[in-house]
Every structure is written in structure tokens, then in C-alpha cells.
Amino acid sequence: MNQPSALQAAQTAKRIVLASLLGACAVIATLLGERVAFQRSYGEAMVHARDAADLGRKILLIDERLTLTAKLAAETGERRWQLRYEANLPIMRQTIDQAIALAPPSIGRRFNAAITEANGSLVRLEREALSLGARGARDEARSMLEGDAYLSAKKQLEQASRQFRAAIDDHARAQAATAQREANLLQTIAVGAGLLLFAFLWRRLTTDLGRTVVDYEQATAQIETLANQDALTGLLNRTRLAEELEQMIARCQRTGEQAALILLDIDRLRPINDQYGHAVGDGVLKFIGQRIAATVRNDEIAARLGADEFAIAVYCGDNPEAPMRAARRLINAISVPMTVDGHIIEVGATAGVAMTPTDSTDANDLLRKADVALVRAKIESRGNVRCFQGQMDAEIRERGLLQSELRQAIVDGQIVPYFQPLVDLATDTVVGFEVLARWLHPTRGLIPPDTFIPVAEESGLIGELTFAVTRAALEHSHNWDQALTIAINVSQRQLHDPWLAEKILALLTETGFQPHRLEVEITENALVSDLGTAKYIIQSLRNQGVKLALDDFGTGYSSLSHLADLPFDKIKIDRSFIKTMREQAQSATIVRSIVGLGRSLGLPTLAEGVETIEDANTLRDIGCTMAQGYYYARPQPAADVPAMLRQLHDNARGTSRHKRRA
């Protein structure tokens, strides 16, 4: 080959090599372009899938929020919970629509049909329950929200959400498999082309794809965790607890073992929310969740049911004392003071226990019976533990009937005022009356207050009852001797109402009763539960001439500084000290100390529960100002007050003559 031919061949070879390189680069560039485009679209699809699955979880969380607000609205009848419930409904619909929009059409259509049916059933039942609660039928509303139809609809909604997330997951995995096959083909081409740069780019793209898949898997695992756990405490949620209870019951039926469900209600949480705010209240709940988790044993199951209620499932074997010991162990752990956001917080807990198979072999029924036992424990004493007993169902029904009758009794005027005299110890003259409520039931006769006042407190009727009795008392006593005062009691629940002072003053205006003749009694515990609102109410009433008395002094949590800060006109010594002061030196010392404190502050003191002349003489000797009790007179209806006054006047004259002769 001559030189020109060799040069031409070399040039041709160069052109061929260059053309081959350019062709390979073009192929590589095309493949890279397709891969980058696919990576972008696949990444977006994976993000959509993850977002859709996350929205599926969010639907369950919103559903729990709707359930909680519906129950609070049904149980309290308060409009703020009804408004909060209605505000959450469009959020649920919007979240469902967002999930459907992000999902593939076939998956979205199936999910829309299932979730719409379940959500519609729940909304219908919840609105019916809200309507019943607004009309006062709260037991019926509670039953509807705990009934089979409601639980079935919630289970249908949960299944629809789970199926939706599973379908999204399968779709994402199918896309990942397709992407992996294309990646393998591209890798083969890259290796064949022998281009290190392409291999590097491929590795980078494959790594990004792997990270996207890992992120999706992690997000899916997190969603599953949140769907089974309470977001605030990390304990199991109500849905997961129901599944665990079913497994526990099945195991007990196979092995012949016993197991118990313990429901815990946290005491004094509402005052903490009112005093420090809900952020501190949530911190307290987190702390309690940690303590429960640290206290339960390996074979025990802990869950938060919502608000301030927790549940613990305990295997007992053949030891019937195991659930009581477990409940006490939990209550003791919860009752230890804790520090939250710089505040030292002390709460307690009350427990109700139901056993399987003894009490029930159905999870929902076991929950209900544990709740019945819890209600009974709270009625008897906070910090108490009660096991379910058959008669409790009848007692709860009776209490529900009493609540229903009480609402109508207030409207019909069956709750009437009785008057117990307040006597000046120095002169033995009547200076006023304390108003006490009595229920004149048309068929049951006279019902004492210790039977119906707790029912009124629990049902939220205490305010209506107090104002109905006060109105009647003021109307009866309007034309009595204008020197006689009328004392009424307000409950702890009423002191949370910032409009209480205005309502009392409006009642005085309505009846024409002089403000200086009215005395409002407030207990120490009620004062401490919401000191800020209590100060406002006390000052507002005091500015209008109404007198204030600190009731049950010595039995609560009041600080002595409250007596100096708040404009009280009187201190009432609790009857428990009067009853034991002549037998117990400690009680006598407490009574003398309270009388001395009142004298130092320029406040009169009134002793409750004076039943004997010896009690009256002892109180008079130590300087107590006033007294009330059976020694002077039992509470009487308004019609009997004139005769009672004449009798007390005659008794006082006889006592005076006896003193002069002595």
C-alpha cells in the first residue's frame, strides 16, 4: 500500500472510529435521556404513592378526631364540641378527595366507593348522637356511639383505608419491578459500550432509585406504626386494642386461663388544662403514657383509648388477685408527682376491672363492663379500684333513669329549697339561712341531696339545678326580715363559668332580692381548680354587695394567702372537725386555730354540724361567731320557716333567762 492509500485508510479508520464513538455517544445520550425522564416520572409517581398512603393514614386520624369530638359533644351537650365536630367534617372529605386524586384511577374508584359508604354511615350515626346529646338523651347518645352499627362502620372505614394503602403499595412495587428490569437492560448496554462515564451515571441513577424505594418502604412502615399507635403517648390505640382483646379472649378460651381488662381514668386533668393550658396537659399525658409503659409487664398490653382514659389487658392465670394488684401498681406509678414545663404536677387515677371469661367473652362487651366498673369506682371515691359486678348494670341504668328524671324535675319545680338557720352564738338569734336542695319526687318521695347532687354534677345539670333552687329560695325569702341573709352553694363546675357572677346578679334583679342579703359559699377545692376565674367571679359579686364565704375550710388545698388576697366575708369550719373536737385533741386544735385565724383577719367564723348543746357551748367559749346544725333545727321547707323562727326565738329567750339566773 502506497503512502496516500495508507493515509486514506488511516483517515477512513479514524472516521469509522469517530463515527462509532459518536454513534455510541448518541445511543448512550438517548438512553440517558430516557432514563432521566423515567427517573423523574417514577420519582413523582413514588412521591404520589407515598402521599396517597399517608393521606390514607390521615383519614383514620381525622376519623378518631371526629369520634372523640362527637362523644364529647354527645356526653356534655356543649355547643363548642358540636361546632368542632362540624368543622372537621369537610377536612375528612377534602382528605379523601386528595387521596383519590393521587392514586391510580382504578384504585381511587374502589377506595372512593368503600370510604364514602363507611364515612357516610359514621357521619349519620354521629349526627344522630349529637342530636340526642343536645336534647339531653346522653346515655342513648353514648350507646349509639358504642353500638355495633357504629363500630362496624368504623371497622369498614379502617379496612377501606388498609386496602387502599395495600393497593398503593402493590402498585408502587410493580412500578419498582418494571424500573428494575429497564435498569438491568440499560446496565447491559452500558457494559457493552464500555463507557465508564455511562456506568458512573447509571450507578448514580440506580442509587437514587434505591433511595426512593427505601424512602417509600420507610414511610409505609411509619404509616403502619401510626395506624396502630396513639400519636401522643406511643401506646396502642383503641383499634389495635380491640384486636389484641379478641386474641386474648381466644387464648383464654383455649387454655382455660383468666384475663382482665383494666380501664384507668386520670383524675384532676381538666383543672391542669384550665390552669396551665393544653400543652402542659398533653405533656402530662405523655408522662403518664411513659409511666404506664414502664410499669406494665411483658405479657400485659397497654393502650390509650382517648382523652384521659387508658386500658391495660392483664393475663391472670389462676390468680384472681392479679388484676387488683396490677391496677394498684399502675395507680401508684401515675400518682407520683411529675415536673412538666417547670410545673410540679400531681394527678391520680381511678380504675375499673372486668374479667374474661367470667364477665364476658366479647371484646366490646368487656370494654363496656370495665367502663361500668370505672364509673362505679369514680362515684365511690377517686383513686379507687372496682371490679365489675352484675348489679352494677342495674345501678347504672337506675342512675341513668335518675338523671333523665332529674332533668324534668328541675323544669317541673320538683327540686325545692329547704332552709337551715344560721345562729349567732353570742345571742342565740337567727341571722340567716343556708339553702339546701331537696327533691320532692312524685312517686319516690323525698330524695336526699347526696343521691341526686352527684348525678347533677356528672350530667352537667348542676348549674340549672342551682339556679332553679336559688330562684325559688329568693322568691320565698324576699319579704322575710330584711336582716336575714340567704346563703347558697356554687359547685366547682360552676366556677369554671366566667359568666357566673353576671348570672347570679341577673337572678337578683329578676327576683328583686337585695344583694347584701345574699351570701355565696365557695369550697376550697373549687377555688383552687381555677383560681383566675374564681378571683374574677368573687370580685364581681363583691363589687355589687354580695357576700362571700369560704366553705369547708380546713379540708381542701387552699393556701392561707387566698384568704388575704380574696375578699371573703366569712369562714365556715367543716363539720368533720366539729363532730370530733370534744374527743380528739387534734380536731379541737384545728377548730381553735381557724377561729383564731378568722379573728386575726377580721372574718367571722361559722361552725357546721353543731348537734349538741355541749358543741355550742364549746364553740361559744373559744370565740366562734356563728353555728348551724341539728341542735338548732333541721332544714325545713319555706312554709315551716315562721314556726321554726318562733321556736328558736323562744329557745333563745329561755337560754337568756337561764344565763341571768346563773
Give pLDDT tens digits for 339-370. 999 888 889 999 999 999 989 999 999 999 99
Question: Do 91 and 14 sit in the same domain of this protein?
Answer: yes
Residue tagged 352537667 (cell numbers): 460
The string over 46-74, giving b where at least 16 C-beta atoms fall within 10 Å of a residue's C-beta and e elsewhere, is: bebbbbbbbbbbbbbebbbbbbbbbbbbb
Question: Do 162 and 299 sit in the same domain of this protein?
Answer: no
Q: Nearest CA to 538 among 561, 574, 572, 563?
A: 563
Q: Nearest CA to 282 among 266, 264, 301, 294?
A: 266
The model's confidence at residue 21, banded by pLDDT at 50, 70 and 90, is low
Backbone angles phi, psi at 446, to 5 degrees: -80, 120
Question: What pLDDT score does 177 carry?
Answer: 74
Pinpoint the alpha helices (H) of 194-303. 196-228, 238-255, 269-276, 278-295
Question: What pLDDT score does 608 carry?
Answer: 94
Residue 495: pLDDT over 70: yes
The total number of structural domains that make up the chain:
3
The model's confidence at residue 420, banded by pLDDT at 50, 70 and 90, is very high
Pinpoint the alpha helices (H) of 381-493. 390-412, 449-459, 462-477
Question: Do 492 and 609 sit in the same domain of this protein?
Answer: yes
The two most distant CA atoms of the chain are separated, in Å, by 163
Task: Tell me how far CA of residue 517 lies from CA of 477, 479, 501, 547, 548, in angstroms.
Answer: 10, 12, 16, 8, 11
Tell me if 107 sits within 8 A of 168, measured CB to CB.
yes
For range 591-598, the mean pLDDT: 93
Residue 339 in any domain: the answer is yes
User: Which is more confidently placed, 626 or 142?
Assistant: 626
Which CATH number does the domain housing residue 346 bear? Answer: 3.30.70.270
Q: pLDDT per residue over 512-563, tens digit each?
A: 999 999 999 998 777 766 677 888 899 999 999 999 999 888 665 555 666 7
Residue 456: pLDDT over 80: yes
Residue 88 in any domain: the answer is yes
Residue 618 in any domain: the answer is yes
The model's confidence at residue 55, banded by pLDDT at 50, 70 and 90, is confident
Residue where a domain terminates, one of 174, 206, 228: 228
Residue 95: pLDDT over 90: no
The model's confidence at residue 660, banded by pLDDT at 50, 70 and 90, is very low
Residue where a domain terminates, one of 175, 198, 228: 228
Residue 606: pLDDT over 90: yes
C-alpha angle 192/194/198, rounded to 5°? 105
- CA contacts within 13 A on the Cβ side of 618: 19
Question: Rounded to two decimals, what is the model's pTM?
Answer: 0.55
User: Which is more confidently placed, 601 or 77?
Assistant: 601
Share of the chain above pLDDT 90, in %: 42
Count the neighbouring beta carbons within 10 Å of the beta carbon of residue 619: 23
Strand partners, 430: 423
The model's confidence at residue 662, banded by pLDDT at 50, 70 and 90, is very low
Question: Do 83 and 196 sit in the same domain of this protein?
Answer: yes
In single-letter form, the type of residue at position 278 comes to H
For range 374-392, the mean pLDDT: 86
Tell me if 644 sits within 8 A of 636, measured CB to CB.
yes
Question: Do 379 and 482 sit in the same domain of this protein?
Answer: no
Question: Do 96 and 118 sit in the same domain of this protein?
Answer: yes
Question: Do 70 and 209 sit in the same domain of this protein?
Answer: yes
Residue 396 in any domain: the answer is no
Backbone angles phi, psi at 200, to 5 degrees: -65, -45
For range 40-68, the mean pLDDT: 73
For range 431-436, the mean pLDDT: 96
Q: Nearest CA to 198 among 25, 353, 73, 81?
A: 25
Question: What pLDDT score does 401 carry?
Answer: 87
For range 283-305, the mean pLDDT: 91
Q: Nearest CA to 269 among 325, 367, 338?
A: 338
Distance in angstroms (rounded) separating the CA atoms of residues 42 and 40: 5
Question: What pLDDT score does 434 carry?
Answer: 97
Question: What pLDDT score does 137 carry?
Answer: 81
Query: What does the block give as the cell for 68?
Result: 372523640
For range 433-454, the mean pLDDT: 92
Share of the chain above pLDDT 70, in %: 83
Which CATH number does the domain housing residue 432 bear? Answer: 3.20.20.450
Question: What pLDDT score does 661 carry?
Answer: 39
Distance in angstroms (rounded) separating the CA atoms of residues 520 and 498: 16
Pinpoint the alpha helices (H) of 438-499. 449-459, 462-477
Task: Tell me how far CA of residue 333 lies from CA of 287, 288, 291, 295, 326, in angstroms.
Answer: 11, 9, 7, 7, 11
Strand partners, 436: 418
Tell me if 69 sits within 8 A of 129, measured CB to CB.
no
The model's confidence at residue 138, banded by pLDDT at 50, 70 and 90, is confident
Laid out side by side, the sheet with 309-317 consists of 301-306, 309-317, 258-267, 348-356, 385-387
Question: Do 157 and 17 sit in the same domain of this protein?
Answer: yes
Question: What pLDDT score does 577 carry?
Answer: 93
Residue 196 in any domain: the answer is yes
In single-letter form, the type of residue at position 51 comes to D
Question: Do 472 and 597 sit in the same domain of this protein?
Answer: yes
Residue 306: pLDDT over 50: yes
Q: pLDDT per residue over 205-216, tens digit each?
A: 566 555 655 665
For range 276-287, the mean pLDDT: 89
Residue where a domain terminates, one of 228, 256, 278: 228
Q: pLDDT per residue over 67-87, tens digit each?
A: 878 777 777 777 877 888 888
Tell me if 168 sits within 8 A of 224, measured CB to CB.
no
Distance in angstroms (rounded) separating the CA atoms of residues 300 and 96: 36
Task: Tell me how far CA of residue 294 lies from CA of 289, 291, 303, 337, in angstroms.
Answer: 9, 5, 13, 16
For range 411-435, the mean pLDDT: 95
Q: pLDDT per residue over 143-197, tens digit each?
A: 888 888 888 888 888 888 888 878 887 887 787 677 667 766 766 775 666 667 5
Question: Do 76 and 168 sit in the same domain of this protein?
Answer: yes
Question: Do 155 and 247 sit in the same domain of this protein?
Answer: no
Q: Which domain holds residue 166?
A: 3-228
Question: Do 610 and 591 sit in the same domain of this protein?
Answer: yes
For the chain, what is the mean pLDDT?
Answer: 83
The model's confidence at residue 223, banded by pLDDT at 50, 70 and 90, is low
Distance in angstroms (rounded) separating the CA atoms of residues 233 and 267: 17
- Total residue length of the chain: 662
Residue 659: pLDDT over 60: no
Residue 568: pLDDT over 80: yes
Residue 490 in any domain: the answer is yes
Residue 56 in any domain: the answer is yes
Residue 93: pLDDT over 50: yes
Residue 267 in any domain: the answer is yes
